[in-house]
Chains A and B, each alone.
Chain A
């Protein structure tokens, strides 16, 4: 078994080519099972699509799935809310999740490449330390991170959310797997013989070969940051720096006293998930990565 374990997982590009499911005789039971799952997962999405078309009054009076006619008004109200604060949150989210994930990809690719393709003293110690980081419950870090950043006066700034989001032990782990599988030693050797330095080789040869894997790491980290509610919730006090999640959470809290804000929360939720959903569906193939593939190909 150990021998099988040491095999790296195939990169995403290879996985896509393997065994498309064969069409066999269809079974109604199989169709029903999957459709039930699909309906369950679509229910809240359909609800928010409908609810965002309702005015505040209609929300509580008409049937849940009966559409209203106030979508444009709702979007207008949301845009007008405190001088367009909602769109500011949207931009902040792009900065935190997009910028953080992009930086994380660079850091992970460099580290993963070094761990996969070089042998050097301290390598296994470094790798084990990073691997342990995968299992450290990330959210536990948020409070000490806050206290440490408070000491250097960085809390309540963009940096306080961006910097802790760059390090991703899981991203490094994945990058190491992709580098081991997608970058042949001969190619690196050839670049070296041609006189390219380590940095040139990395940028010109290694990065392009790792590209599909890096897209996957970007998406993973993007979601991890976009999903991490506690970190910005703790770090930020100024609502102009909030990402969408913290902003909408605050709106809902106020809505408990002012139900008129509920329509803003609902419309805001819809507008928040639309762009991301579109991005996800168009990049869906990159999700077909395999956490345990190293041991699967027995």
Chain B
């Protein structure tokens, strides 16, 4: 074996060796499940005779029947409408507040900025299930400080988990959990802006508000876009919050969100085929929405050379 040979052989192989664990895990736990879900979504069981005994149930090709059933199911349509409304409510409020907090922090004009920043970031350490437990108790009339306050003021106790407010109650939990993280991401981008830019604008007589909106926000647009897309993806998958709140209220059905319906179909009804079809629909909708949004804003983020 010559020296050049020894050097070249492993050199060419090295990147593939480094990538092997990632590719194997990607194939086994992402690509294969996606492929399997797509496969199942076109299948169904066929029951022959009374459906008793071996061989009475066979898996057969179902074409688009599962998709037709899934898309036409009023429970699915309702859950999509509910989550659409939830996203329209949550994402703009969360991103707006995160941007506001980040800009105020970056302006350096608030007292106790470090305390506030840490406090607002703190909920990120709390997983959605525990956040839902905490807020769930705060919503419960017997425990809630809001009910106590209303009582002191002689007002009727607010039913925060009534059918009228439940959507807001769930959105509030997600807002609480997500605003701090998005704030930190945006704040970090803001701090990377060279201070000369703001100084120059200030010398030109721009107010703080104008500097924030016309100088800083356009520069951090890519971060805004990415946090927006990630928030959107998380929103469409909402599951933990309503599932955790369910024991505390009668107003969350087992099909309250699309993912809850997938779970119910797969595990309560044992209908993995229709659950698979619904999963594929949700995944496609998410991809269309996130890619559509990225295209809309001109693919300014994620523009890494590939």
Task: Identify the A interface with B (CB < 8 A).
Answer: 1-2, 5-6, 8, 10, 15, 18-27, 30-31, 33-35, 37-45, 47-48, 51, 59-60, 63-65, 106-108, 110-111, 113-115, 118, 120, 123-124, 126-131, 133, 135-141, 143-148, 163-164, 166-167, 169, 172-173, 176-177, 197-198, 202, 223, 226-227, 229-230, 233-234, 244-246, 248-249, 252-253, 255-256, 262, 265-266, 269, 272-273, 276-277, 279-281, 284, 287-298
Q: How far is the CB of B143 from chain A (nearest CB, A)?
A: 6
Question: Per-residue CB proximity of B90-131 to A under 8 Å, as 1/0?
Answer: 000000010011001111111111011111111111111111
Apart from the given pairs A31-B109, A63-B145, A287-B184, 6 other A-B contacts in the complex at a CB distance below 8 Å: A60-B142, A140-B283, A146-B266, A164-B29, A292-B221, A296-B189
With A110-B19, A111-B19, A252-B247 as contacts: A30 and B40 at CB distance below 8 Å: no
- With both beta carbons as reference points, the residue of chain B lying nearest to A230 in the complex is identified as B239
Q: How far is the CB of A125 from chain B (nearest CB, A)?
A: 9
Question: Per-residue CB proximity of B278-292 to A under 8 Å, as 1/0?
Answer: 010011001100110
Which of chain A's residues have a CB closer than 8 A to the CB of B283? Answer: 136-137, 140
* Residues A229 and B108 in contact, CB atoms below 8 Å apart: no
Q: List the 5 closest A-B pairs by CB distance, nearest first.
A: A5-B303, A292-B222, A144-B33, A38-B119, A34-B116
B227 within 8 A of A: yes
Main secondary structure of the interface of A (DSSP, over half): helix
Which of chain B's residues have a CB closer than 8 A to the CB of A129? Answer: 26
* Residues A137 and B237 in contact, CB atoms below 8 Å apart: yes
Which of chain B's residues have a CB closer than 8 A to the CB of A48? Answer: 134
* Residues A5 and B300 in contact, CB atoms below 8 Å apart: yes
Stretch at the interface among B10-18, B64-72, B80-88, B157-165: B10-18
Query: How far is A243 from B243 in the complex, measured between Cα atoms in Å?
Result: 16
Q: How far is the CB of B128 from chain A (nearest CB, A)?
A: 6
* Residues B300 and A35 in contact, CB atoms below 8 Å apart: no
B30 within 8 A of A: yes
* Residues A143 and B306 in contact, CB atoms below 8 Å apart: no
* Residues B29 and A141 in contact, CB atoms below 8 Å apart: yes
* Residues B109 and A18 in contact, CB atoms below 8 Å apart: no
Q: How far is the CB of B228 from chain A (nearest CB, A)?
A: 11
B32 within 8 A of A: yes
Which of chain A's residues have a CB closer than 8 A to the CB of B286? Answer: 135, 137, 140
Which of chain B's residues have a CB closer than 8 A to the CB of A113? Answer: 18
Interchain residue pairs with CB less than 8 A apart (15): A30-B104, A34-B101, A37-B120, A41-B120, A64-B143, A110-B22, A133-B30, A137-B283, A143-B262, A227-B240, A246-B129, A249-B243, A256-B247, A290-B192, A292-B223
Q: Which of A59, A147, A266 contacts B40 (CB 8 A)?
A: A147
Q: How far is the CB of B242 from chain A (nearest CB, A)?
A: 11
Question: Per-residue CB proximity of B183-221 to A under 8 Å, as 1/0?
Answer: 011011101111100000000000000000000000111
* Residues B192 and A24 in contact, CB atoms below 8 Å apart: no
* Residues A291 and B223 in contact, CB atoms below 8 Å apart: yes
Which of chain B's residues have a CB closer than 8 A to the CB of A108? Answer: 22
Q: How far is the CB of A180 from chain B (nearest CB, A)?
A: 9
B42 within 8 A of A: no
Question: Per-residue CB proximity of B33-65 to A under 8 Å, as 1/0?
Answer: 110110010000000000000000000000000
Query: How far is A142 from B259 in the complex, measured between Cα atoms in Å?
Result: 11
With A136-B30, A167-B22, A265-B133 as contacts: A26 and B109 at CB distance below 8 Å: yes
Q: How far is the CB of B271 from chain A (nearest CB, A)?
A: 11
With A47-B134, A48-B134, A249-B243 as contacts: A128 and B306 at CB distance below 8 Å: yes
* Residues A143 and B37 in contact, CB atoms below 8 Å apart: yes
**Those of B233-275 within 8 Å (CB) of chain A:** 233, 236-237, 239-240, 243-244, 247-248, 259, 262-263, 266-267, 272, 275
* Residues B22 and A19 in contact, CB atoms below 8 Å apart: no
Q: Which of A22, A127, A245 contacts B129 (CB 8 A)?
A: A245
* Residues B192 and A143 in contact, CB atoms below 8 Å apart: no
* Residues A42 and B122 in contact, CB atoms below 8 Å apart: yes
B89 within 8 A of A: no
Which of chain B's residues have a CB closer than 8 A to the CB of A266? Answer: 133, 137
Query: How far is A31 from B108 in the complex, measured between Cα atoms in Å?
Result: 10
